[in-house]
Structures are given as C-alpha cells and as structure tokens.
C-alpha cells in the first residue's frame, strides 16, 4: 500500500515536470516528435530506476550523519553529507556510461532506440533531481527508493509524451508568429501543470493533505530547533 | 568600454538579449522556474549561477588542453559539483532560511544545462579571459530573466518586493482598514505564486521579445 501510494504520488502529484520543473531542458528540446520523445522517456525511466536506489544506498551507508557507524564506533561521528552532490553526480555519470556499454553489448536493438539519448541523460536535471529529492524527502527503505525512481521516471515519460503529441498537432493551428515554437510550448506546459495540480487531493481527499503537511512541517521545525539546542549544549559542554 | 575590445564586449552583451540562454538557447530552464516565486530567491540564484559559471568557465578553459576528450563530461561535472558545494555551504552559513527555500535547486545548478552548454561550446575552445567574459555574460542573461519573472510573480502574487509591501497593506488597522491599492478593492493574485505561472510568465516574455525582434521567430 505504501508502495502504491508513493508510486501514484510520484507520477501525478509530484510530477517531475509539472510540479518541480525538472528535466525541462530536454523536455523542451526533444519533444518535437512523439517517437523521439518515447525513446528519451524510456531512457529516463531506466536510468532513474537504477540511480535512485543506488544513491539511496550511498546516502544511507556513506553520506548521512552517522552513516559510517557500520565501520565501527569511532566513525559514528562523521558527517559526509556535504559530499552528496559530487557523489551523486559521479554515480549518475558512471552508471549512465555503464548502462550504455551493457545495453550495447546485450541488446543492440534497445541500444539503437535509446542510444543517442543515454549520454544526454547524465546532465538531465530530472536524474540528479530524483536523487536529491530522495535524500531531502528521507525515503525510508531501498524498496521505496526504487518505487520512487520508477514512479518519477514514468511521470516524466508521461509529460514528454503528452507535450510531444500536442506539439505534433499544434503544427496545424494558427499560432501568433512570435509565440510559435518555444513560446506556445511554455504556455501549454503551464496549462498542463495547472491541470496536474488537480491531482493534489487524489490520495488523502482534498484539504486533509494540506493540513497534514503544515503539521509535519511544524514538527520538523520543532525537531530542528531541538537538534540545534542539543548541538548548542554540546558545544557549551 | 575602454577596458574591453568590441569583440569581448559582445560576449557579455549578446546573451543579455538576442542570444539569451533561457529564451533563445533554451538552456537552464529547470531551476529558473521553480524558485522565482520570490524576488530575493531569484537574485540569490542568479548570483550563485554567476559565480559558478564565471569561475567554472575559467577553470575548464585553463584545463582545456589537458582534459582527454573522452572523459571530459565527468571532468566538467566534478568541477561544477565542487563549485556548487562551495555555494551551498556559503548559503547555509550566511543565509540559512534562504537555502531552505532554494532546497535542492542549489544542487541542481550542477545539471543546469547553461553551465555544461557553455563549457562545451565555449570554454573548451577559448582562452581564460574570454571564457570568463562569456560565463559572466551568459549568467547575467540567465539572471535577467530570473529577476524579471521573480519581480512580477512577487509583485502580483503577494504585493511585495524583496518582502517589503509596496502596494499598501491588505489588512491594515481596524480603524483605517486596508490601505493603498487594497483600499480601492485590489486583491493579490495568489495564482501567481503557484509554480505553473512561472511557465506562463516566461512564455509571455518570449512572446514580447520575439514580437520586438522578428528575426527570432521560429517556424514551428
């Protein structure tokens, strides 16, 4: 149930493109034709499903405050979280390269359809964004991280597929010349994002969600102040 | 400009208008849209990108002859990631509240396409000084759009600029009631604060820009 909830949430409510604007560059550049959009979308699902769980492991056992405690007591105090950007991006770049090599070796037909998009993906904000949101939303288990990765990927796929289909049709419409191409795409994406906002109440039934969120934010704040207090007392001691 | 030759000056002025990274080259949209609900966040984001792109372009340009071309993407990513970590730590130290607002979007400067795009297109082929100018120019072009979008979204959405109310007080004291424009029945348009409006505002900027300069119009 938890998995299904996170899955639906990451596709519709926290949609990468419409809620957080991640991966917009390739979303705008590669959405002129449905067929290429499908290729890129599939590659994004693929790479997110691999990198999010992998970065979850890194975060859990290497980067978080106290994550190194499995090495022994004396390592428990280390906090390497400032390294997370560099670790995440290195993992992503390596994995993309690795995936490219493996796919080329074992499935030439898949390689031909994904091929040119894979290198593009290393610098797609959606991929790094997936890992960073996974970290900041404190996803609890490896399974959930995988679900989150796949869900976000599908959400992105859905978005690029939809805009590509619309752009193929809009070619036959009479758009004001200055808006043609990029301008109208922006505005359509904005309207689609407004549409996607209506999914917001899907899981909890409207206003409950908002109330819950503010509550948890307050609790977080309290926790933060508590932590700070604890730190301060430590310093004083 | 006595300091810069005409060719060098063009490196800075071009990206501000006719070759703007956001509206013409379509680079770096991701972060541009998510954080522009407040003017202050937009300004801080622009300065961060200015720093990362200016310094990064110089570093890459200095190393351009020793980077093996096969692993250049990874080298570039490491350079950007290092600079972004510096920005992130500085923000956390001196503007903690703001760094909470920007959340993951500081980290996403790493994959901001403007940065990789300029490294690939310019810094790998030009000397450090010109690369520096190119970096500053492109980051400024990015910043200009961010600040315009942030300005309108904050002004129309919450009636403030940099957190200071400029359109009067919507609630006011019990005796006077709302003041300024609000006394005339003006209401804040809360819709401007929602993220989809950023897209629409950028769409309108593109519309205005291309109406003024017909050469930029695309044919579908």
The chain A residue lying nearest B81, using CA atoms, is A86
Q: Do B211 and A86 touch (CB under 8 A)?
A: no
Output the CA torsion B149→B153→B159→B164 (10° steps).
Answer: -50
Where does residue B133 rank: exposed (0-12), middle (13-18), buried (19+ CB within 10 A)?
Answer: buried
What pLDDT shows up at residue A225? 53
Q: In sequence order, what are the residues at sequence separation of 6 or more whose Cβ sits closer than 8 angstroms to the Cβ of residue A142?
A: A53, A56, A57
Cross-chain Cβ contact B104/A133 below 8 Å: yes
Does the pLDDT at position A232 exceed 80? no
pLDDT tens digits for A164-208?
Answer: 999 888 888 888 877 887 888 888 888 888 888 888 777 664 444
Helices (H), chain B: 6-13, 29-34, 39-62, 72-94, 96-102, 104-107, 113-121, 128-158, 196-212
Lowest mean pLDDT among A89-103, A106-120, B139-153, B184-198: A106-120
Task: Report pLDDT for B199.
Answer: 84
* Contact at CB, B89 and A177, closer than 8 angstroms: no
Q: Which of A89, A125, A180 sits opposite B217 (nearest CB)?
A: A180
What is the rounded average pLDDT of the residues B135-152? 86
Q: Per residue in A28-79, pLDDT tens?
A: 877 888 887 887 888 888 888 888 999 888 888 887 777 777 777 777 777 7
> Which residues of B fall within a CB distance of 8 Å from A177?
210, 214, 217
A178 and B196: CB-CB below 8 Å? no
Write out pLDDT tens, residues A83-132: 888 888 888 888 888 877 887 788 777 777 665 666 667 767 788 888 88
Q: What is the pLDDT of residues B90-129, one digit of tens each?
A: 888 888 888 877 767 787 787 777 787 788 778 878 888 8
Please report how many Cα atoms fall inside a 13 Å half-sphere around the Cα of residue A4, on the Cβ side: 3
Say whether A32 sits in a helix, a strand or coil. Answer: coil
How many CB atoms within 10 Å of residue A165? 14
Q: How far is A198 from chain B (nearest CA, A)?
A: 12
- Report pLDDT for B4: 64
Q: A42 and B48 in contact (C-beta within 8 Å)?
A: no
* B 93-112 residues inside an 8 A Cβ radius of A: 103-104, 107-108, 110-112
Q: How far away is chain A from the Cα of B133, in angstroms, using its nearest Cα?
A: 24
B36 touching A, CB under 8 A? no
Picking from B81, B104, B207, the nearest residue to A179 by CB comes out as B207
The Cα–Cα gap between A89 and A95 comes to 10
- Radius of gyration of chain A measured on its C-alpha atoms: 21
- Residue that the structure tokens 């990198």 belong to: A51
Which whole number is the average pLDDT over B15-22? Answer: 73
Residue with more model confidence, B209 or A212: B209
Contacts of A189 in chain B (CB under 8 A): 199
Query: What's the pLDDT score for residue A202?
Result: 72
- What's the ipTM? 0.77
Instruction: Report the candidate in B100, B114, B4, B141 with the shortest Cα–Cα distance to residue B57.
Output: B114
Closest CA to A65 of A55, A73, A75, A56: A75
Nearest C-alpha neighbor of B47 from the set B20, B98, B87, B81: B87
DSSP symbols for A174-213: ---GGGTTHHHHHHHHHHHHHHHHGGGGTTTTTHHHHHHH
DSSP collapsed to 3 states, A66-130 = CHHHHHCHHHCCCCCHHHHHHHHHHHHHHHHHHHHHHHHHHCHHHHHHHCCHHHHHCCCHHHHHH
Q: What is the pLDDT of residue B218?
A: 66
What is chain A's mean pLDDT, rounded?
78
Of A82, A122, A132, the CB nearest to B108: A132
């Amino acid at each position: 149930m938890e998995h299904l909830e996170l899955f639906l949430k990451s596709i519709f409510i926290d949609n990468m493109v419409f809620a957080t604007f991640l991966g917009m560059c390739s979303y705008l550049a590669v959405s002129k034709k449905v067929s290429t959009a499908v290729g890129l979308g599939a590659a994004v699902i693929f790479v997110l499903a691999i990198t999010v769980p992998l970065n979850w492991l890194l975060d859990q056992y290497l980067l978080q405050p106290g994550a190194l405690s499995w090495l022994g007591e004396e390592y428990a105090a280390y906090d390497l979280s400032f390294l997370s950007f560099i670790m995440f991006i290195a993992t992503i770049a390596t994995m993309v390269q690795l995936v490219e090599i493996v796919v080329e070796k074992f499935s030439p037909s898949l390689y031909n359809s994904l091929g040119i998009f894979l290198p593009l993906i290393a610098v797609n904000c959606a991929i790094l964004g997936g890992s960073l949101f996974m970290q900041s939303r404190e996803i609890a288990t490896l399974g959930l991280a995988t679900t989150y990765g796949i869900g976000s990927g599908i959400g992105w796929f859905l978005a690029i597929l939809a805009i590509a289909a619309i752009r193929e049709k809009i070619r036959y419409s009479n758009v004001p010349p200055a808006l043609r191409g990029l301008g109208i795409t922006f505005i359509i994406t904005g309207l689609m994002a407004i549409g996607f906002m209506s999914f917001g109440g899907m899981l909890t039934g409207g206003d409950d969600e908002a109330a819950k969120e503010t509550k948890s934010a307050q609790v977080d704040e309290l926790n933060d102040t508590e932590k700070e207090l604890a730190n301060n007392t430590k310093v004083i001691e | 400009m006595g300091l810069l030759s005409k060719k060098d000056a063009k490196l800075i002025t071009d990206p501000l208008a006719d070759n703007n990274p956001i509206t013409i080259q379509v680079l770096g949209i991701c972060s541009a849209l998510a954080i522009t609900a407040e003017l202050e966040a937009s300004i801080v984001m622009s300065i961060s990108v200015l720093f990362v792109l200016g310094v990064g372009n110089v570093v890459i340009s200095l190393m351009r002859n020793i980077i093996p071309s096969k692993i250049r993407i990874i080298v570039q990513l490491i350079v950007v990631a290092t600079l972004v970590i510096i920005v992130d730590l500085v923000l956390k130290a001196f503007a903690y509240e703001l760094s909470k607002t920007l959340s993951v979007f500081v980290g996403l400067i790493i994959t901001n396409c403007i940065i990789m795009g300029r490294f690939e297109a310019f810094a790998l082929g030009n000397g450090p000084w010109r690369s520096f100018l190119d970096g500053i120019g492109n980051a400024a072009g990015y910043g200009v759009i961010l600040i315009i979008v942030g300005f309108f979204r904050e002004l129309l959405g919450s009636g403030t600029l940099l957190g200071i109310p400029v359109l009067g007080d919507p609630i006011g004291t019990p005796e006077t009631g709302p003041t300024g424009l609000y006394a005339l029945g003006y209401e804040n348009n809360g819709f401007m604060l929602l993220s989809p409006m950023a897209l629409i505002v950028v769409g309108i900027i593109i519309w205005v820009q291309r109406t003024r300069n017909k050469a930029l119009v695309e044919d579908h």
